[in-house]
């Protein structure tokens, strides 16, 4: 019994000793490249610290656990950690063996073994995944997310904090501000809801007038409206250059120019032309120029005037003949397809 306890204690001591010598390299270890074993010229960079270790693995572990460490040097039992990597073409003295960390990717980024560059996730970009993208266009340009589509975090220049958006990392990078297709969300909402945003970014939603204003007032964008009407199933498109929102004046909407597809089968038709310069309206904050409460009549929030030729936030509906029922609350866009029902509407921003 006593001898078994001695063996058990010895084994535990042996395991602890092994770990102290080699470190627990099964997780959390950064990958390093040997830099040089020079014996002349100049001294290594200013060190983070000097330690005594049994092996170079112990020194590597110390560096891995220090986020400021970019390289380490080993000479016998001495370990020196550095906050600067060793530069190609330089040679260092003292009989030290030098190792550079391959890459320390922040924010859960991963090092690509072939390129030794960081692969970022969730909206982070940069050489080390050090910051959030300002929009989906910047994410697309970064090269980290090509072809991806889904939920990402962004931090526009004017926004006090990051927020989540739906991105399509194609066609220049698309930051979605609205989707209305699944009949999963009620768009007949109060001013505060439209200000903050509502719905599920994966399905039907309005991003929020505050978030939209942080985006469009910090950078030039093209606003794109895409929709499908039930009679043709073509994706129709209308674009609005330099779309802006005046946050201090009821999210007053403006843009510089508009155009649709050159192919009439895909042309969306201008629906915002007569609404340009209008403030946003909801049933509890009527900013239109009509004696009616247009938001109440159309049961949605939008830029209304007297009242509107389009109602993309209206009530999603379906009829046997695929035509509008003729009620003002329906989701419609009359510029091109007239009385055909809208099946699907979505809007997004592309950096211009």
Q: What one-character-per-residue DSSP string does 281-346 give?
A: EBTTB--SSSSS-HHHHHTS-EE-SSS-SB-TTSB----TTSB--S-TTB--BHHHHTTBPEEEEE
Q: What is the CATH number of domain 23-101?
A: 3.50.4.10
Task: Classify 173-351 by CATH class.
Answer: alpha beta
Q: Rounded to the nearest 5 degrees, what angle is found at the Cα of 44, between the Cα atoms of 41 and 46?
A: 140
**Domain range summary for the chain, segments of one domain joined by +:** 23-101, 173-351
Q: What is the DSSP letter of 64?
A: H
Residues above pLDDT 70, as percent of the chain: 82
- Report the candidate in 216, 226, 232 with the shortest Cα–Cα distance to residue 260: 226
Average pLDDT over residues 327-346: 81
Residue 189: partners with Cβ closer than 8 Å, 6 or more residues away: 198, 206, 282, 301
CB atoms within 10 A of CB 273: 12
CA dist 123 and 131 (Å) reads 8
- Indicate the pTM of the whole model: 0.75
23-101 and 173-351 share one fold: no
**Cis peptide upstream of residue 25 (ω within 30 degrees of 0):** no
pLDDT at 342: 83
Angle between helices 56-64 and 2-22 (to 10 degrees): 70
Q: Is the pLDDT of residue 142 over 70?
A: yes
Which has the closest alpha carbon to 85: 107, 70, 67? 70
pLDDT digits (tens, 9 = 90+) for 96-127: 788 887 677 888 888 775 666 788 999 999 98
* 101: three-class secondary structure by DSSP: strand
Binning pLDDT at 50, 70 and 90, where does residue 90 land? Answer: low
For residue 141, give the H/E element and its range.
helix 136-142
């Amino acid at each position: 019994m006593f001898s078994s306890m001695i063996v058990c204690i010895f084994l535990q001591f042996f395991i602890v000793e092994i770990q102290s010598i080699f470190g627990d390299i099964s997780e959390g270890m950064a990958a390093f490249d040997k830099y040089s074993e020079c014996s002349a010229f100049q001294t290594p960079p200013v060190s983070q610290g000097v330690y005594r270790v049994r092996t170079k693995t112990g020194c590597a572990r110390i560096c891995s656990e220090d986020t400021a460490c970019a390289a380490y040097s080993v000479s016998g039992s001495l370990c020196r950690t550095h906050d600067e990597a060793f530069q190609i073409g330089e040679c260092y003295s003292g009989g030290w063996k030098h190792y550079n960390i391959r890459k320390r990717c922040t924010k859960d980024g991963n090092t690509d073994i072939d390129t030794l560059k960081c692969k970022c996730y969730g909206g982070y970009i940069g050489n080390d995944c050090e910051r959030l993208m300002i929009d989906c266009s910047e994410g697309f340009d970064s090269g980290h997310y090509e072809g991806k589509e889904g939920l990402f975090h962004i931090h526009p220049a004017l926004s006090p904090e990051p927020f989540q958006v739906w991105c399509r990392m194609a066609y220049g990078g698309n930051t979605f501000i609205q989707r209305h297709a699944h009949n999963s969300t009620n768009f007949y909402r109060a001013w505060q809801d439209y200000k903050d945003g509502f719905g599920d970014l994966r399905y039907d939603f309005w991003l929020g007038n505050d978030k939209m204003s942080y985006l469009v007032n910090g950078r030039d964008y093209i606003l794109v409206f895409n929709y499908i009407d039930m009679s043709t199933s073509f994706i129709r498109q209308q674009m609005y250059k330099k779309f802006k929102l005046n946050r201090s004046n009821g999210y007053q909407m403006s843009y510089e120019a508009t155009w649709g597809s050159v192919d009439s089968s895909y042309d969306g038709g201008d629906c915002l032309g007569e609404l340009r310069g209008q403030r946003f309206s909801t049933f509890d904050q009527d900013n239109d120029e009509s004696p009616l409460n247009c938001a109440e009549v159309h049961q949605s929030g939008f830029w209304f005037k007297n009242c509107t030729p389009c109602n993309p936030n209206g009530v999603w509906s379906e009829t046997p003949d695929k035509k509008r029922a003729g009620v003002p609350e329906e989701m419609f866009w009359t510029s091109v397809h007239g009385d055909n029902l809208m099946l699907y509407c979505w809007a997004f921003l592309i950096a211009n």
